[in-house]
Amino acid sequence: MQRRDYIKLLLSGIGSLLFKIPLKALQLNRPIHSKHFGTFYWGVATAAYQIEGSHDVDGKGLSIWDTFSNKSGNIKDKNNGNTACNFYYTYKEDIEILKNLNFKDFRFSLSWSRIFPHDNSKVNQKGIDFYHRIIDTCLEKNINPWITLYHWDLPQYIQEKGGWANREVLNYFEEFAHTTSKTYGDKVSKWMVLNEPAAFTTFGYLTGIHAPGKISLNSYFASVHHAVLAQSLGGKILRENVKNSFIGTTFSCSPVEPASQKAKNIRAARRLDVAVNRMFIEPSLGMGYPSNDFRLLESLNKYIKEGDEAKMPFEFDFIGLQHYFRIIAKYSLARPFIWATDMDPKKRGVETTAMNWEVHPESMYHIIKYFSKYPIKQIIISESGAAFEDSITNGSINDIRRIKFFDETLQQVLRAKNEGINVSGYFVWTFMDNFEWAEGYRPRFGIVHNDFNTQKRTVKDSGYWFKEFLSSEI
C-alpha cells in the first residue's frame, strides 16, 4: 500500500469512529483487488481443535491437545480448547458469514479422535456425520470444502504408544486416511495431508511447548521421519480414493537470513534453513533429507528402514505454504545441536504482532520465490494472517493494522505471481478468533471477532475489507 493510501485508509477509519459511519460503507482507495489475480482460490483456513469445542460430545475420544491443554501450566491463562468457538454447533451460521464475505473456499481439518475415538477398529458414526454436515452446508452454499487430514490433534491412545515417535502411527494414519477419503472423497476433491510437520514435530517432541509436550532429540527425529512417510502415504491413499483429486500438503516456512556475513552466522542460517524449510519438502520431491547441509540429520538414519527412501516421494498437485515471519539467524551456544537462534524481533526494534512475530510483508514474496526453485506444480498460500490487539467500539472493530497487513502481503503474493510463479490461492488465517494453541485465546487472528463468553461473532473491518476485495468473485 502506498503511504498516501494508508493515510487515507487511516483517516477513513478515524472518520468512521467520529461519525459512526461503518468502515464498510466508505469507499476505500484500494490499490489491489482480487480480479488482479485472475483465477485464484480465495479462502479462510481453520483447524478442528482451534474452533470446534465439544471435546467430549457425541462419542469423541481424547486427543493429545485435550490432554495437554487441560494440564495446568501448558497454556497461557489456564485456557483450554474444550469449548473454543463452539463451531460444532455454530458451523451453519459461521459458513453463512464466510459466504457473505464473498469467500469461495473453506479449509477445515478433521478431528481424528471424533472419527476413531478409541482405536482403529470402530468408527464413530456421529463424528463421521458431523463432517458430512459441514461439507453439505458448504456445497449448498457454493463454497468449496478443503479438508486437512491432520492438524495436530493426534488421538491420545496413539500417543500412549509413543505418538509420532512410534512407527506404528503409520498404520493408524493409513486407516484414518483411507476411511475418511473413502467416506468424503465423492463430495470433496481438495485435500491437504499434514499441517506443518516441522511445527508439530519440533514443538511437540523437541521443545515440548505443544502437545504432547515431549523434550527428546530421539523422539524428535523419529517423529520427523514418520511424518515424512505419513505425508506421502496420505497423498497416495487420497489419490486412490478421491474423485478428481487435488492433493497438497502444507509447510510452515520462513526466509532465513544470517545476522551478519560472519562465517559462523552464515552456517547457523544454513542449519536453521534446513530445519525450518527443507526437511519435509525435499524428501517429498525424491531429494532425500538435506543432511549435507546439517550433519545432525544423519541421526534420522536410525529410523530409516529398507525401502523407506522409495516411499518418501509423492507428486503433490500443490504445496501449501504457511508463512508468518522471517528469521534472522545468529550462531548461539545457548541452543545445543542446532547452535543457532533467531534474533528476537523486539531486540531488533522492528514492528511485531501480538505473537511477537515481525511484520515484514516482503518476506511473503521471498518465501514464494524460494520455494519456486523446487519442481512444484502449484503453490497455494494455505495460511497467512496476523494477530493484533482489537477493540470493539460501538459494536464494530476497526482493525486497520490487520487490513494494512493483508493489503501489503497480498501485494507481495501478486508480485510473485506477476513474475510467472504459479501461485494459485490464498487462505486467510483465520476466519474467526480462536484457540491459539499454547497462547490460549489472547492472540486474535480472526477477520471475524469472537466473544468467547457469549460466542457472539462480529465481522471485523478486515472481514468487510475482504468482502469488498472479493466483490468480483461472486
Does 342 bind ligand FCB (CB under 6 A)? Our answer is no
Residue nearer to ligand FCB on the CB measure, 429 or 464: 429
Does 429 bind ligand FCB (CB under 6 A)? Our answer is yes
Residues 320-339 that bind ligand FCB (CB under 6 A): 322
Q: Which of 128, 199, 338, 438 binds ligand FCB (CB under 6 A)?
A: 199
Q: How far apart are CA 336 and CA 126, in angstroms?
A: 46
* Among 196, 282, 358, 436, the one annotated catalytic: 196
Q: Cell for 57?
A: 460430545
The least distance separating ligand FCB from the CB of residue 239, rounded to whole angstroms, comes to: 24
In the three-class reduction of DSSP (H, G, I as helix; E, B as strand; rest coil), residue 154 is classed as coil
CB–CB of 58/423 below 8 Å? no
Residue nearer to ligand FCB on the CB measure, 28 or 319: 319
Residue nearer to ligand FCB on the CB measure, 61 or 197: 197
Residues 248-307 that bind ligand FCB (CB under 6 A): 252
Residue nearer to ligand FCB on the CB measure, 282 or 436: 436
| Per-residue interface string for the shown chain with ligand FCB, residues 179-198, x marking contact by CB under 6 A | ----------------xx--
Q: What φ, ψ does residue 456 adopt, rounded to 5°?
A: -80, 130
Q: How far apart are CA 275 and CA 252, in angstroms?
A: 11
Residue nearer to ligand FCB on the CB measure, 28 or 198: 198
Q: How far apart are CA 319 and CA 251, in angstroms?
A: 8
Q: How far apart are CA 431 and CA 449, in angstroms?
A: 9
Residue nearer to ligand FCB on the CB measure, 205 or 303: 205
| Per-residue interface string for the shown chain with ligand FCB, residues 123-162, x marking contact by CB under 6 A | ----------------------------------------
Residue nearer to ligand FCB on the CB measure, 251 or 303: 251
State which amino acid sits at residue 355. Answer: M
**Residue 419, C-beta contacts closer than 8 angstroms, at least 6 positions apart:** 369
- E strands, 157-227, are 190-194
Q: Cell for 172?
A: 493408524
Q: How far apart are CA 456 and CA 446, in angstroms?
A: 13
Query: Maximum Cα–Cα distance for the chain, whole Å?
Result: 70
Q: Is 19 left (phi over 0), alpha (psi -120 to 50) or beta?
A: alpha
In the three-class reduction of DSSP (H, G, I as helix; E, B as strand; rest coil), residue 192 is classed as strand
The least distance separating ligand FCB from the CB of residue 375, rounded to whole angstroms, comes to: 25
The least distance separating ligand FCB from the CB of residue 306, rounded to whole angstroms, comes to: 33
Residues 66-125 that bind ligand FCB (CB under 6 A): none
Position closest to ligand FCB via CB: 47
* Among 52, 257, 358, 383, the one annotated catalytic: 383
Q: Cell for 330?
A: 545468529
What is the total count of residues that contact ligand FCB (CB under 6 A)?
Answer: 12
Residue 196 is among the residues annotated as catalytic for this protein: yes
Q: How far apart are CA 381 and CA 370, in angstroms?
A: 14
Alpha carbons within 13 angstroms on the beta-carbon side of residue 35 total 7
> Rounded to the nearest 10 degrees, what angle do helices 461-469 and 400-418 cross at?
30
Dump the DSSP string for 71-100. Answer: STTSSGGG--SSSTT-HHHHHHHHHHHHHH
DSSP conformation class of 392: E
Q: Cell for 266?
A: 552464515
| Per-residue interface string for the shown chain with ligand FCB, residues 34-53, x marking contact by CB under 6 A | -------------x--x---
The least distance separating ligand FCB from the CB of residue 93, rounded to whole angstroms, comes to: 22
CB–CB of 61/116 below 8 Å? yes
Residue 93 is among the residues annotated as catalytic for this protein: no
The least distance separating ligand FCB from the CB of residue 401, rounded to whole angstroms, comes to: 16
State which amino acid sits at residue 126. Answer: K
The least distance separating ligand FCB from the CB of residue 110, rounded to whole angstroms, comes to: 14
Residue nearer to ligand FCB on the CB measure, 200 or 303: 200
| Per-residue interface string for the shown chain with ligand FCB, residues 434-453, x marking contact by CB under 6 A | --xx-------x--------
Q: How far apart are CA 199 and CA 85, in angstroms?
A: 23
In the three-class reduction of DSSP (H, G, I as helix; E, B as strand; rest coil), residue 427 is classed as strand
Residue nearer to ligand FCB on the CB measure, 42 or 324: 324
Buried b (16+ CB within 10 A) or exposed e, 267-283: bbbbbbbbbbbbbbbbb
Residues 383-412 that bind ligand FCB (CB under 6 A): 383
The least distance separating ligand FCB from the CB of residue 310, rounded to whole angstroms, comes to: 29
The least distance separating ligand FCB from the CB of residue 445, rounded to whole angstroms, comes to: 6
The least distance separating ligand FCB from the CB of residue 457, rounded to whole angstroms, comes to: 19
Q: Which residues are catalytic?
A: 196, 383
Task: Report the interface residues with ligand FCB, using CB under 6 A.
Answer: 47, 50, 195-196, 199, 252, 322, 383, 429, 436-437, 445
